[in-house]
Amino acid sequence: MAPKEQNLLDNRDERLSSFYHVVARSTDIDDSPTTISILGRDFVFFRRQDKVVAFEDRCPHRGAPLSIGDFCEDYIECGYHGWKFGYEGAAIEIPALGGEGTIPKAARLSSPYSVVEKYGLVFVALEEPKAQIIEIEEFDDPNFDVGYLETFEARQHCAFLADNFLDVAHFPFVHKATFGDGEEKVVGDFEIVEDGTSFTATYEHSFSNREDPLVHTGEHELVQRRRLTYRYVPPFQLTLRIDFLATGGVNTISFFIAPTAERSSRLYSFLVRNDLGGSKLAMGEAVAYEEKIIVEDLAIQEAYNAKGFPLSASGFVNTRADRVTSTFRRKLREALGEDTSDE
């Protein structure tokens, strides 16, 4: 079947222009230009007067990458023929014309894009964004510590990675070597609350908390309650908050996936926890453990040779146990402006 008939979403889909995508850690962007691909196109990012600015990495004259030019206080000078552009985008000088010639109207860069810095990450929307950046209240709470994972490059379309993040049925199989061994095979009955094109899925259950030191002293029961809260904001922003109800511990895992090129994604993730007492060592261990889990997931995700992620309900076989990921797929469709009344 041709990809169109299957309604596949690939990482370069134009509709993804109207959403925020993560592009870098804030610390990665300084006053020298950095080229970053989003939706298969190159953009140049740099910091000017403390704000991150982005343009398409292309000079309108002969298409040379702007990033090889000079980024000065008041203008950008293209490295090829020296055209100068003000930061609003318009050309202000074309050296080959001397002082005389008229600068054509079309001699301008793309308008600067909407760039937001949040959670120590940089986000860009190439068109008016249709969704905000996901809220993580714990991030600014002084009782919580933040630990960033390394950035992962994945040979897969973003939607598969988002689907995987929301999926619990794979835990006992893919994560056998880390946390999956004691996990239940039967998927619980998640409560799903939809809010526009976003949703929250919650599930409370019992589990064996072998990491709780008070279990070993007999002060806490081994079998404790845990609440999982998954949140989704389109197209590829996700969090999982784990509340350990007996200890008051909270571990929130964030997941921001950038569509860099066709079947090529970049993954930014950080942990926000209140149960590590500010210990850098403990956070380092928690981050390393989470990275191991992501490596297990990517081994499966990269093994698919997919042209895109099936958006239609008929693209995959769904069971009752796939309600959360089915909701993700439907919300993503809605966010992209598709009619889902056929579902």
Output 138-146 pairs: Cβ under 8 A, ≥24 positions apart: 138/241, 138/250, 138/252, 138/272, 138/274, 139/272, 141/274, 143/274, 144/250, 144/252, 144/272, 144/273, 144/274, 145/272, 145/273, 145/274, 145/276, 145/278, 145/283, 146/120, 146/270, 146/271, 146/272
φ, ψ dihedrals at 294, nearest 5°? -65, -40
Q: Residue 93 or residue 117: which is nearer to ligand FES going by CB?
A: 93
Of residues 110 through 129, those in contact with ligand FES by CB under 6 A are none
**How far apart (Å, rounded) are the C-alpha atoms in residues 182 and 164?**
19
> Closest distance between ligand FES and the C-beta of residue 88, in Å?
17
DSSP class per residue in 274-338: SSSTT-HHHHHHHHHHHHHHHHHHHHHHTT---SSEE-SGGGS---GGGHHHHHHHHHHHHHTT-
Region binding ligand FES by CB under 6 A among candidate stretches 39-47, 59-67, 124-132, 174-182: 59-67
**243-278 residues labelled b (16+ CB within 10 A) or e (exposed):** bbebbebbbbbbbbbbbbbebbbbbbbbbbbbbbee
233 binds ligand FES (CB under 6 A): no
163 binds Fe ion (CB under 5 A): no
> Closest distance between ligand FES and the C-beta of residue 179, in Å?
53
Place of tokens 């993804």: 16
250 binds ligand FES (CB under 6 A): no
- The option from ligand FES, Fe ion, none interacting with 59 (CB < 5 to 8 A, set by class) reads ligand FES
- The option from Fe ion, ligand FES, none interacting with 297 (CB < 5 to 8 A, set by class) reads Fe ion
Q: Residue 62 or residue 185: which is nearer to ligand FES going by CB?
A: 62
* Single residue of 83, 165, 199, 270 touching ligand FES by CB under 6 A: 83
Q: Residue 63 or residue 99: which is nearer to ligand FES going by CB?
A: 63
* Single residue of 25, 41, 61, 323 touching ligand FES by CB under 6 A: 61
71 binds ligand FES (CB under 6 A): no
Per-residue contact flags (x/-) with Fe ion for residues 294 to 333, judged by CB under 5 A: ---x------------------------------------
75 binds ligand FES (CB under 6 A): no
**How far apart (Å, rounded) are the C-alpha atoms in residues 220 and 26?**
41
φ, ψ dihedrals at 290, nearest 5°? -65, -35
Region binding ligand FES by CB under 6 A among candidate stretches 79-87, 143-151, 213-221, 228-236: 79-87
Three-state DSSP class for residue 205: strand
- The option from ligand FES, Fe ion, none interacting with 62 (CB < 5 to 8 A, set by class) reads ligand FES
Per-residue contact flags (x/-) with Fe ion for residues 270 to 299, judged by CB under 5 A: ---------------------------x--
**How far apart (Å, rounded) are the C-alpha atoms in residues 192 and 135?**
18
The residue ranges that bind Fe ion (CB under 5 A) are 297
List interacting residues with ligand FES (CB under 6 A): 59, 61-62, 64, 78, 80-81, 83
